[in-house]
Amino acid sequence: MEQADLQRLFDSKIEQEIRIEPKDWMPEAYRKNNLRQISQHAHSEIVGMLPEANWISRAPSLRRKVALLAKVQDEAGHGLYLYSAAETLGTSRDEMLEDLNSGKAKYSSIFNYPTLNWADIGAVGWLVDGAAITNQVALCRTSYGPYARAMVRVCKEESFHQRQGYEIMMSMAFGTPEQKQMAQDALNRWWWPALMMFGPNDSESPHSQQSLNWKIKRVSNDDLRQEFIDKSIPQVEYLGLTLPDPDLKWNEERGHYDFGPIDWEEFYRVISGNGPCNKDRLEARNKAHNDGAWVREAAMAFAEKRQTNVA
Amino acid sequence: MNSKNWPLFEVFIRSKNGLSHKHVGSLHAADPAMALENARDVYCRRNEGVSIWVVPSDHITASDPGDAEELYEPARDKIYRHPTFYTIPDEIGHM
Ligand SMILES: [Fe+2]
Ligand SMILES: [Fe+2]
């Protein structure tokens, strides 16, 4: 087929909501755009394990410990589903891991904030996973088949993540005054970074329109952020906590909550490597990767030996 | 990794007896035995299956989407392969 015909076929599939599959022809820019988004998403799942893993051994009860352990294990799985989806676009797992470990690849800036105490684990499950779910539900309809299928699996697993986080917040918010204060403090620190997870404003996000046209993204950054804010407010009210935003108020006309300005300078500072934990995260990633090298090598040597014995 | 990458395996899971195995995703492993163990860990954490197949990805031969026309088009005009092509009187009930 001629290039122009291939392009027409691709465009009509996008138009008719027919998913693009790995062996289908696709424009190079579409491939690259997907690869960047999916690999960044995968890296976020992997780095996202670090702030929580920090608290597994210090969970206050066995119930909390098994929940957190299961959640962190899920996130490893999410990373794997996404790396697999990215690999169908013609890159290797090792290249992606190398880009992550060298600091070349980006991951969600939220994971560069520290989890200072147990209430943070509640706030992370509730808000960070909550924001991720809002984003991922929309991505279940993304135009690249392997990415959409990965998102469907991820969304099925995610909902307990948010609920276990909210449960932690409930027991603290309804606990002693000191516990309630800890819950409030965690909410204060995580609220704004959680809102930044949806990315820059639509007006500042030049690639966004192309992604929406290709249906890689299905809902714009600002619309997703608004949806998340509207959903969160009754949850905050139930806890008897307050959001660290004096401008927050219901707008009858819009049918949405208005909210105050986001500190985008902070966002760009953290994403460009100068957040509170960027260095720690990369060091932990590299240490885990290097410490595991002998295991990977031994497993491969064992597999090869077994194969020669059979042959 | 230094020298060799672990090969890729495709994972198929039978969700319950009576249903066929269905492709659920892929993973890297040093050998088939490890692929099976890893498939259990990542794809069956919530009773998703009763049986797992793992197949080295490079053992799969796939059709080319570019051949779609010659592969699937000939079936399209053979409407006599479908029951609705034949007229049967209402009086005789369901057939
Ligand atoms: Fe996740
Ligand atoms: Fe999660």
In chain A, residues with a C-beta closer than 8 Å to the C-beta of B30 are: 296, 299-300, 302-303
Closest Cβ–Cβ partner in B25, B30, B31 for A81: B25
State the CB neighbour count (10 A cutoff) for residue B51: 13
A305 touches chain B (CB under 8 A): no
In chain B, residues with a C-beta closer than 8 Å to the C-beta of A1 are: 66
Distance CA A110, CA A246 (A): 22
Q: Are A130 and A67 in contact (CB under 8 A)?
A: no
CA A161 to centroid of ligand 2, rounded, Å: 5
A199: left (phi over 0), alpha (psi -120 to 50) or beta: left
Backbone angles phi, psi at A51, to 5 degrees: -60, -30
State the CB neighbour count (10 A cutoff) for residue A41: 26
Mean pLDDT of A56-64: 97
Low-confidence ranges of chain B (pLDDT < 50): 1-2
Q: Which residue ranges make up each domain of chain B?
A: 3-92
- Nearest C-alpha of chain A: how many angstroms from B22? 13
Mean pLDDT of A123-149: 98
Q: What is the pLDDT of residues A157-199, one digit of tens each?
A: 998 999 999 999 999 999 999 999 999 999 999 999 999 999 9
pLDDT the model gives residue B71 = 86
Is the pLDDT higher at A42 or at A304? A42
Give chain B's end-to-end CA distance (angstroms, integer): 63
Chain B, nearest residue to A5 by Cα:
B66
Distance CA A21, CA B4 (A): 28
Q: Do A303 and B30 touch (CB under 8 A)?
A: yes
Q: Which of B42, B46, B54 to mutate to test the interface with A (most CBs of A within 10 A)?
A: B42
CA B79 to centroid of ligand 1, rounded, Å: 46
Distance CA A33, CA A211 (A): 8
Q: Do A293 and B5 touch (CB under 8 A)?
A: no
Distance CA A89, CA A32 (A): 8
Distance CA A86, CA A93 (A): 8
Distance CA A205, CA A216 (A): 15
pLDDT the model gives residue B24 = 95
Backbone angles phi, psi at A216, to 5 degrees: -70, -50
Give chain A's end-to-end CA distance (angstroms, integer): 44
Q: Are A135 and A211 in contact (CB under 8 A)?
A: no
Q: Do B2 and A293 touch (CB under 8 A)?
A: yes
- The correct answer on CATH 3.10.20.520 for the domain covering B3-92 is yes
Which residues does residue B12 pair with via DSSP β-bridges, in sequence order? B23, B53
